[in-house]
């Protein structure tokens, strides 16, 4: 359904914005056929998809993380691949390897057998169960959209989207993701327990004859168009500066650092955090019928964009501080404008 014209926006761009919202709602509705609740998680995953980022979902077993990802894959007309990460999984099991093949004339030659990474939607299930060596097999693919195997570089088909799951409570037999890999995830989304009414709906759907049929409603070509549209959304210099200062406020002993940053953080967020906040805020603006980013758009996406990019120091870990607590304080204490900085004594 078309919305009122956005002031100062070309009618052709306006049509693209309307199509963006329609496609977003269509995919959202297909996921809702299977997944009960978890609206913030669904919105977060779709945001990652529409900006070309990757999503890390963390939650205890049985909350529907894998089901959500499989449902999203069914709603998209893209190649889907699931990789079950285990301690004995090797990089070649992910990327692929060269094998000797024999043709009808009995000539033998090395042939590359592509691994499951050569798809467009990758479900990396229980990613923290694999060794760091195997986890690193995803690094090049996630950042460069390519893999190098057998001395040859191979491009991955776009759009390329990795969604990984991990269990936060089971530590035996797991390997924490290295910071370099965490930084490549656009959002880290925390999947929480369902409420009373949501559990009732889950039981009604899963313990009866109810069967939802999810159909593909969005293809790769249109996803790439939407990703380009997101980049064209305007962010004013003063809003962009606010995003920059929020990121700088996570750097211990920095000029914009808040008290909790200096007390509990060892390292702050990288420049990728500022990129993630900006792009995600642009998606929020489009969904709200605007072609410009507001301060609130940036605030709404800052925590999932940065929670996995901060490293607590010993004191923070000992006192049970979470990165979310630090970020909430950062957002509360970072002024929106330079005028506010003068009033509060910063700058």
Q: Where are the domains of the chain?
A: 27-220, 233-347
Give yes or no for a contact between 187 and 280, defined as CB atoms under 8 angstroms apart.
Answer: yes
Is residue 151's pLDDT more than 60?
Answer: yes
What is the structure's pLDDT at 169? 67
Is residue 100's pLDDT more than 80?
Answer: no
The closest of 36, 70, 30 to 205, measured between CA atoms, is 36
Same fold, 27-220 and 233-347: no
pLDDT digits (tens, 9 = 90+) for 300-321: 999 999 999 999 999 999 999 9
With cut-offs at 50, 70 and 90, classify the pLDDT of residue 2.
very low
Give yes or no for a contact between 91 and 133, defined as CB atoms under 8 angstroms apart.
Answer: yes
State the average pLDDT over residues 44-73: 89
Class of domain 233-347: mainly alpha
State the average pLDDT over residues 65-81: 89
Residues pairing with 100 in the sheet: 110
What is the structure's pLDDT at 326? 96
With cut-offs at 50, 70 and 90, classify the pLDDT of residue 343.
very low
Q: Between 166 and 150, whose confidence is greater?
A: 166
What is the structure's pLDDT at 170? 62
Q: What is the mean pLDDT of the chain?
A: 87
Please give the distance of CA 56 from its chain centroid, rounded to a whole number: 6
- Provide the residue count of the chain: 347
Backbone angles phi, psi at 18, to 5 degrees: -60, -40
Between CA 173 and CA 197 the distance in angstroms is: 35
Q: What is the dihedral of CA 297, 311, 44, 336, to 10 degrees?
A: 0
Is residue 340's pLDDT more than 60?
Answer: no
Of the listed ranges 91-95, 115-119, 192-196, 289-293, the one predicted with least confidence? 192-196
With cut-offs at 50, 70 and 90, classify the pLDDT of residue 38.
confident
Q: Using the Cα atoms of residue 16, residue 20, residue 26 and residue 30 in order, give the sign of their dihedral.
A: positive
Is residue 244's pLDDT more than 90?
Answer: yes
Fold of 27-220: Rossmann fold (3.40.50)
Is residue 28's pLDDT more than 90?
Answer: yes
Of the listed ranges 166-170, 220-224, 274-278, 287-291, the one predicted with least confidence? 166-170
Is residue 4's pLDDT more than 80?
Answer: no
What is the structure's pLDDT at 204? 82
Between CA 129 and CA 193 the distance in angstroms is: 22
What is the structure's pLDDT at 15? 85
**Percent of the chain, pLDDT > 70?**
93
What is the structure's pLDDT at 274? 96
Is residue 347's pLDDT more than 50?
Answer: no
Task: Classify 251 as helix, strand or coil.
Answer: coil
Is residue 57's pLDDT more than 50?
Answer: yes
Between CA 278 and CA 218 the distance in angstroms is: 24
Q: Between 212 and 265, whose confidence is greater?
A: 265
Q: Between 256 and 132, whose confidence is greater?
A: 256
What is the structure's pLDDT at 8? 60
């Amino acid at each position: 359904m078309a919305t009122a014209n956005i002031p100062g926006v070309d009618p052709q761009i306006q049509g693209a914005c309307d199509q963006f919202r329609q496609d977003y709602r269509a995919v959202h509705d297909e996921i809702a056929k299977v997944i009960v609740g978890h609206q913030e998680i669904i919105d977060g995953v779709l945001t990652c998809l529409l900006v070309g980022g990757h999503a890390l979902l963390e939650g205890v077993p049985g909350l529907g993380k894998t089901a959500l990802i499989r449902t999203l894959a069914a709603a998209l007309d893209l190649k889907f691949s699931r990789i079950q990460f285990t301690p004995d999984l090797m990089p070649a099991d992910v990327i692929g390897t060269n094998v000797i093949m024999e043709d009808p004339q009995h000539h033998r030659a090395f042939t590359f057998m592509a691994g499951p990474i050569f798809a467009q939607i990758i479900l990396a299930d229980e990613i923290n169960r694999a060794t760091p060596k195997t986890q690193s097999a995803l690094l090049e693919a996630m950042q460069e959209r390519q893999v190098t195997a057998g001395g040859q570089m191979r491009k991955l088909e776009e759009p390329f989207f990795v969604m990984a799951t991990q269990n936060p409570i089971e530590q035996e037999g797991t390997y924490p993701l290295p910071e370099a890999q965490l930084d490549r995830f656009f959002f880290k989304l925390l999947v929480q327990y369902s409420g009373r009414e949501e559990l009732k709906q889950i039981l009604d759907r899963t313990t009866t004859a109810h069967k939802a049929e999810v159909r593909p409603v969005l293809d790769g070509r249109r996803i790439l168009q939407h990703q380009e549209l997101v980049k064209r959304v305007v962010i004013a210099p003063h809003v962009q500066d606010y995003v920059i200062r929020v990121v700088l406020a996570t750097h211990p002993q920095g000029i914009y650092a808040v008290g909790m940053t200096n007390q509990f953080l060892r390292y702050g967020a990288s420049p990728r955090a500022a990129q993630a906040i900006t792009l995600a805020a642009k998606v929020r603006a489009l969904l709200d019928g605007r072609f410009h980013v507001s301060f609130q758009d940036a605030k709404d996406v800052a925590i999932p964009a940065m929670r996995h990019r901060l490293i607590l120091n010993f004191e923070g870990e000992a006192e049970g501080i979470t990165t979310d607590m630090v970020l909430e304080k950062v957002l509360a204490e970072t002024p929106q404008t330079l005028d506010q900085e003068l009033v509060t004594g910063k700058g």
